């Protein structure tokens, strides 16, 4: 009985992990081919030390803004701003806007740099560290270049 419960839980977790990886269409109208759009995605929090969660929360284009809550989105070419939010393992939250010129056929990744602030005056606390977000950066995954970086 315990094994069946464990297997069912594992299957649910795998399903959730698989379902969360699809990209949201970040524009109105019919779906376009990959060479007509660009893909932007958050670097998975488990690959960024000290980040609990990170999401794209809005996409602002010259045509209008779209509210989303996603890890990945397809975008049309042109000037676009992406609103992102992150929460660290010490529950510090931050947000920022990454504005850039989207190129069709490109792929981008949003990375988050964290900083540790220590409080030596309180050594007997369970943790004398606060982890904050120092920077959001957008990387062109084809070239490895940083397209834009902002501090929250």
> For the segment 24-71, what is each residue's pLDDT rounded down to a tens digit?
998 888 999 999 999 999 987 555 677 888 899 999 876 667 888 889
pLDDT at 152: 87
Q: Which of 24, 140, 38 is nearest to 73 (CA)?
A: 24
Residues in the chain: 152
CA distances from 38 to 76, 80, 109, 112 (A): 6, 11, 11, 20
């Amino acid at each position: 009985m315990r094994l069946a419960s464990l297997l069912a839980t594992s299957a649910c977790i795998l399903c959730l992990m698989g379902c969360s990886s699809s990209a949201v269409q970040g524009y109105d109208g019919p779906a376009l081919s990959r060479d007509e759009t660009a893909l932007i995605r958050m670097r998975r929090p488990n690959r960024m030390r000290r980040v609990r969660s990170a999401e794209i929360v809005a996409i602002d284009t010259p045509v209008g803004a779209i509210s989303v809550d996603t890890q990945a989105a397809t975008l049309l070419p042109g000037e676009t701003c992406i609103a992102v939010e992150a929460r660290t393992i010490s529950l510090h939250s931050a947000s920022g806007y990454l504005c850039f010129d989207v190129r069709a056929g490109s792929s981008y990744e949003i990375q988050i740099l964290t900083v540790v602030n220590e409080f030596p005056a309180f050594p007997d606390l369970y943790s004398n560290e606060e982890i904050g977000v120092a920077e959001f950066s957008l990387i062109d995954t084809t070239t490895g270049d940083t397209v834009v970086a902002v501090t929250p």
